[in-house]
Structures are given as structure tokens and as C-alpha cells.
Amino acid sequence: MPPVPESIELYCSAAKEYKASDLILQVGEPPVVRVSGSITPMEAPAIPAGDLKAFREACGVPSGFADHDASFLSRDGVRFRVNFHRRLGGDGAVLRRINTAPPPLDSIGVPSELLSEMVQRRSGILIVSGPTGSGKTTTLASLLDWVNKNHERHVVTIEDPVEFVFEREKSVFTQRAVGLDTPDFAEGLRRALRQAPDIILVGEIRDAETAAVALQAAETGHLVLATLHSSDVSEVIERIQAFFPESERKGLLQVLSGQLLMVLCQKLVPSTDGARVLVCEYLTNAGLSRQCILNGDMAELRDYLAKADPGETADFLRSFHRLVCDGRLDAEMAFLACPNPAELRRRLRGISSSFLT
């Protein structure tokens, strides 16, 4: 494979100095970085086509692939997840910077006590959801890092690509990359069941086959961690249902209601200090919520999220309200990001919609 072009290494070094989350490269355009959610062009010349072509080859992108995911470790030790693609007939690449070591679980804004409790279970499935760039991978890496420091487990991960690389502390890790070590998520998950795992991480549930094998793994005594692209808790359930034909959904919901441990949905929103703050909606599945899932009653589930014990379950509205009241989130920014801004305004004025009937 050819070496990585010097220009790409310099762009990556600059992205590190900027503390950028993303580096966007397009042929014929200057490189662009994303810092705290905002896009900023770098003061650099337009990127030559030959540099991106050589970068694709250095990252092992097979010839003829227009779109391909890879990982890249720059010479100054920064790891990136890279998406190579074509745009208007030319090459493009988006590099997402990955911290070499996951941050401590209790530092990233998730309900860390609940997550650490759930990851000590011997079986079941825990789903982390949210849009691209919302920190799902970081949350799961921090959770597995907590396991590594505190428990003796065999953890098998199936990822596309492998991002955080774990070194053995108390736990043993078998990390497998889709396309390199296994053909796809479903097959990697199926084979993982024969590898004596205690915990299986599925990088993403993308289809019915992966969802079915993940639930089977949970049913047969394994703890499964997975991500899904959905905006809130009820949409996670609806998205999983949508993978399957109508005739199979009743049985699916029966298994899901019994095996689901927790759903955590995330959003990253610009905060008052110029960085970004993580806003979470989360459900610990027990009792009434199990019945809602079994019946496929998402309206009742959303009502439960709004009213349940905040120590175990919270909807986005409650989380946005708390962060604004704590001074960590500007109210106007919260109104833009909150799924129900009118209700948030009422709550901030001390009026609940329950009194407006």
C-alpha cells in the first residue's frame, strides 16, 4: 500500500490542534473542520485529486468501491473513523476523530449509575440510539472501559470499523471488523455465540437478521450492547418492529419486552460554555413499560416516559428542562433542539400541560 500523503497527515495534525470532531476533505476544495458543532474552513490550499486517491489506497479501500468505511491512525497517534465516498465525480472523505482512550463513564453526561448497573446483568439487550455524531460509540466505549476496569468478562465486539481498541485490564476483548474479520454484523454476531462471550457489542442493528440474532443471543444468556439510528425511545421500538413483516411482530414484541434492559437515546446540543452538552432520554424496562412494548402501545410508553421515576426513566423534555435550569444549556438553544418546545416553554414558566386541560 502507498504511504499516506503528507498533506493528509498535516490536515489531521491541524484537526487535532483545533480539537475538531470531524475533518471533511473534498477534491478541489480546502479542508474543513467541525469544532463544537460548527463548520470552519481551514486556511489551506484546495485538495488535489491524487492526494485523496492515495489516501484511499493507503487505507485499504478496494478498487472500484465508491463508498467505503475504514479506520486510520495518524502519525501523531490520533485515530479516525473514515468514510470515503464519491461526490460530483470526485473523491471525498469525512474523518471522525476518535479519542484513543474512552472518557470516564461518569464524565460524559449519561445516567452512569444505571448503565453500570445494567452492564453487570448476565443477559438481555441494551440499546444506545441517536443521530450520527451524537456520541453513541463513545458512550458504549466508556461503558466497556468501565467493565474492563471492574469486572472479569470476555467481550466480543463486531464493529464497522473498529474504533476504540481495548487493552486487557480485568476483561478480555475480541474485537472484529466487518469486512475484514467477518462479512457482516449478523454473521459476526452469530459466530460470536460460539466464542464463549459474556458481553457482545453489535456496532449497529441495521436489518431484521441482525435484530433477530441479537435477541436470540440475549435469550440464550448473553448481554448484548447495540446501537440504532432512532431519535427517541418509542422510535427505537418502532424501528425494530419495522424490520419484520406484520405476521412476525407479535412474537418479536413478546421477546423484546422480556429481553430489553434499557434504551438510551442521545443528542449533542451546543452548551452555554461553547462546547456541547449531551441530552438523554432513557428507559429502564420493567413492569408497565414491558406491557407497553408487549402491546406495541407507543402512546402509552411515551406517557410512561414522561411520568416515571426520573432516577430510572426520563424523556427528553425532562432532561432539557433540567439542563436549562442548571444553567448548562441556553433556553433558546434548548427550544431549537427539544422535540416539544412549546411544552418546554410552559415548564420553564412553571406551568405544566397537565394543568392546561
Answer yes or no: is 297 within a domain: yes
Assess if residue 339 is contained within a domain: no
Q: Closest by alpha carbon to 83, among 19, 16, 131, 22?
A: 22
Among 41, 71, 98, give the residue marking a domain's end.
98
Grid cell listed for 259 = 429481553
- The label of the residue with cell 468478562 reads 153
Determine the Cα–Cα distance for residues 130 and 124; give it in Å rounded to an integer. Answer: 20
Query: Same domain, yes or no, for 168 and 284?
Result: yes
The per-residue pLDDT for 299 is: 95
Residue 328 domain-assigned (yes or no): no
CATH number at residue 51: 3.30.450.90
Clarify whether residues 76 and 202 are in a common domain: no
Same domain assignment for residues 188 and 306: yes
Please indicate, yes or no, whether residues 109 and 249 belong to a single structural domain of this protein. yes
Domain hosting residue 227, numbered range: 105-314
Same domain, 140 and 90: no
Q: Report the pLDDT value the prediction gives residue 220, as an integer from 0 to 100.
A: 94
320 in any annotated domain: no
Instruction: Give the CA-trace dihedral at 57, 60, 66, 68, to 10 degrees.
Output: -140
- pTM score > 0.75 for this model? yes
276-284/199-202 β-pairing: unpaired
User: What CATH number should be reported for the domain holding residue 303?
Assistant: 3.40.50.300
Q: Taking a C-beta distance cutoff of 8 angstroms, is the pair 185, 203 a contact?
A: yes
Low-confidence ranges of the chain (pLDDT < 70): 1, 351-357
